[in-house]
Amino acid sequence: MRRTALLACAALLTGLLPLTAAGAAAGADEPAPVPVDTFEGEVPFANPPAEGIFPWGGDADDPPRLALTARDDAPQGDKVLTGGYDISGYGGFTHDFAFDRPAHDWSAHKGIRFWWEGRNNAKKISFEIKDGGANGEASELWTTSFTDDFTGWKQIEIPFTDFTYRTDYQPVGGIDQVLGLTGMWGYALTLPTGVKGDFALDGVELYGKGSQSLRASVVTDAAVHPVKEGGTAAVRISVATTGSVPVDEPVTVAYETAGGTAEAGRDYTRVAGELTFPAGTASGTSRTVRVPTLRDRSAESAETVPLKLTVTGAKAPAENPQVVIDAHGLPYLDAKLPVRKRAADLVSRLSLAEKAGQMTQAERGALTAPGDIAAYDLGSLLSGGGSTPTPNVPEAWSRMIDSFQLRAQATRFQIPLIYGVDAVHGHNNLIGSTVMPHNIGIGATRDPRLAQKTGEVTAAEVRATGIPWDFAPCLCVTRDERWGRSYESFGEDPALVQSMETVIQGLQGARDGRDLKDDDRVLATAKHYVGDGGTEYGSSTTGSYTIDQGVTKVTRQELEAVHLAPFRTAVDRGVGTVMPSYSSLDILGDDAGPVKMHADAEMINGVLKDRMGFDGFVISDWAAIDQIPGDYASDVRTSVNAGLDMIMVPYEYKNFRTTLVDEVRAGRISERRVDDAVTRILTQKFKLGLFEKPYADTSGASRIGSAAHRAVARQAAAESQVLLKNAGGVLPLKKSQKVYVAGSNADDIGNQTGGWTITWQGASGKITDGTTVLQGLRKAAPGAAVDYSEDASAPTGGYDVGVVVVGETPYAEGVGDVGNGNDLELTAADKAAVDTVCGAMKCVVLIVSGRPQLIGDRLGDIDALVASWLPGTEGDGVADVLYGKRAFTGQLPVTWPKSEAQLPINVGDSAYDPQFPYGWGLTTLTKVPRGGAAALKVLALKAAAAERTGADAVGRAAVTQARLLVQQEIGTDVTAASAKPFADADHLLLTGRYKEAVARLTAAYRSA
């Protein structure tokens, strides 16, 4: 009633005003407001891709409860949007427009406004709009906020000029960081956390007339313009408009050189003037301002010449461009000098703040402004999992990284950034790259030369996009398959992990680092130091994780033999960086208790750097120092003093740099420790050739995802397949057979590539280019009938053989821990598919997974069983062994348990009764030796002779022949008596003890 009366009075007063006055008050030339939401029911509650309003939140309790509520005091119409919330993490709601319709054009309006019912709680509410991109969930987010410091209804008006680019999160990694307004996909509100409350919203609409300053912008070709001393910098200044229409009013740009570290008249010639873009000027029109620099023939650091721009009639650039006169004549710039001398010279010139910057690594998406790279002297940036440019193509990666490197040129000594990425099985963040099997599959190949080839392909594809540093390989020794990172390991035996470290040479080239400057090499990272694969189940304190980031409890002897051994090999191979583990180390018997690895000075300074002689640099894991007990200053002090050289902050780069400087000035970190850290970092930058070539060399980009690279991945996929059972010789398949294919992982590229693929956790579905197992089967037998029914619901009659591909869906790190919503059982749907197909015909079951799955209860009904691991993008490789183009040669890199109760179970255990032992792997297309015990005696003599003479190839061949003979004798009746010596034999083979290996295989034969 009250609202109706007020509106009636307002209408009467408006009617009494002269028409001119009324028109002026409303803004005669302004467009009428355009409703976005009136909340009368015209927009439903619905999730994307349909148009609708929907809540979201960090966990199940965080999304607010939404309703359309009839209110007498509704500012517009009869209903308002109401909701209640009690948010511990984050939460809010969104209105997305329909994905199958064109985005909306808001460019004619000044801003967006809405009615908000105030609670006067002094809380900030974030309001964001969604600009450009493919849809509302793949757009660019622009944000602002308002404060609820009032009571009752109030109309909140937000001009579009108030919105800023969101730097903490972008759903697609950002697009162009330009608020275009012509392709808008909706809006979202983020509600306050830590307070229980309710809200009411009404009348969201566009208002006002967009000025030319919203539609037109002045832009420069670059923010930084490096130039050699004596050269002339050319700064191109352009006018750009939304929708690329001509400007309808003149735009003027006054410019002048002012400020900076260079001196006018000595270092450059001062310039000043004005550019005019008349009305009607086409969008994209450019003018050039030239800034001459002067030669003074003295060696000096880089100097800056800012070009101040004053813009009228358009939006000015976010920052003024600056000319940088390159550093020159200083010893560290002389590529002919030894790296040691170059590094020492440069360190001697740096201020403490500049040194602290070199020790700082930030996530690319965390930069509050691109200029922060120079402002904070950042030494490194990274892309976390899924942090990619848009579009996610090679050219966008190289452009992005070049833009970051350009910013680093604005620093005093123009120290290039070192950009890092988790390319853990190929350049796995890049769509269309060659994705290798995960390490667990590479371990199954038992092929060190192939491991090196996979590293070479990865390095070539990563470096071709401008990235010189790879956070790989993981040298963890996985000791418990409940660990969500199991697939990151080459296996459970340190000898196997050590044998696969040829991948380091694949990535880096020569051990002395002389190849690192090449366009197909990257700096490698040995991780996670040390013991991350040995964490005890139930020891993790990270969220809902059960084992990842937990505590490794070992004796010193076990630590040396199992977990440290791979890192000794990595140091010997010249690995350039080492990353500590999130986990803690508890050495039994020393009474020190668990120590976070990022704080373990004994293991980093004492063992890694001093005893092993590691001369590269130590990089922290993602925000890992935050897990060290104590406040932030203590975290910084403890980690740096423990031997960390660079800290992956990744968001707290400003705070970290300031804190590090404060700690040094207070004497709690020595400047000598800082100098050591920075020297180590700069040494690797010099070896990589970044000072001479900081920008991307894209000459190898055409090889990304090429046939040659995919051939390596195909070979790796084939060799990683482990044949566990093959009753009746079902495999290899014949091209004449009619094949029934089923299972959730038969035709899913996302499932077969696993976690750390395109995004951190990976995802099911068509997430990148490649060949699924089903596609590989159809290509391998083009004339055969290969029919597919995912759930095995199609009729099963008339087929010669079934192939059922089952297993896991993607996960990464502790998210995949058993007990954290995961187990080692097949899903009900996968079990049903196996039962249906294997009950109707001869069947082959492939398990696509990052770790063993419990299959014992169905083993008797399965004719052939294959551990496929996570084979990557080349399903053709799986088909190659199924159809006999290649022989099965893979061997288990981990023990395959009978039950979860057996875990942990590993080669060398005193009690050892698995489903299949470590090292097990049947073969096809290979003649298995005959002759039983007599043949084993002959092979034992060969092995002994080979060991005495150092004939490793002969020794390995003798053990392999013995293994095949023994496997044939054991058949499917694996017992504890035969399993233990069988597994021991494979460990002995890897350590070169061929005679003893055959002896253990003989023991397994006798117990069969």
Catalytic residue set: 621, 813
Among residues 376, 326, 359, 403, the alpha carbon closest in space to that of 692 is found at 326
Q: 262 and 325 in contact (C-beta within 8 Å)? A: yes
Amino acid present at 475: L
Q: 842 and 746 in contact (C-beta within 8 Å)? A: no
Q: 374 and 411 in contact (C-beta within 8 Å)? A: yes
Distance of CA 936 to the CA centre of its chain: 49
695 vs 684: CA distance, rounded Å: 16
**Cβ atoms within 10 Å, residue 754:** 32
357: which 2 tokens?
A: 């910057």
Among residues 227, 308, 220, 311, the alpha carbon closest in space to that of 270 is found at 308
138 vs 171: CA distance, rounded Å: 6
Beta bridge partners of 523: 469
In 615-726, where do the E strands start and end?
A: 617-618, 647-648, 722-726
SS (HEC) of 219-280? EECCCEEEECCCCEEEEEEEEEEHHHCCCCCCEEEEEEECCCCCCECCCECCCEEEEEECCC
Alpha helix segments (H runs only) across 409-484: 439-445, 448-463
Q: Given phi > 0 = left and psi -120 to 50 = alpha, else beta, which region is 314? A: beta
One-character DSSP codes across 565-591: HHHHHHHHTT-SEEEE-SSEEEETTS-
Beta bridge partners of 57: 91
**Cβ atoms within 10 Å, residue 44:** 11
Q: 357 and 159 in contact (C-beta within 8 Å)? A: no
Alpha helix segments (H runs only) across 270-384: 339-349, 352-358, 372-375
Beta bridge partners of 300: 328
Q: Given phi > 0 = left and psi -120 to 50 = alpha, else beta, which region is 825? A: beta
Among residues 544, 543, 526, 545, the alpha carbon closest in space to that of 535 is found at 545
- Count of alpha carbons within 13 Å of 758, Cβ hemisphere only? 24
Among residues 432, 438, 442, 437, the alpha carbon closest in space to that of 465 is found at 432
SS3 774: helix
51 vs 43: CA distance, rounded Å: 7
Beta bridge partners of 922: 723
366 vs 143: CA distance, rounded Å: 15
Gyration radius from the chain CA atoms: 32
996: which 2 tokens?
A: 């003893």
700: which 2 tokens?
A: 């190898």
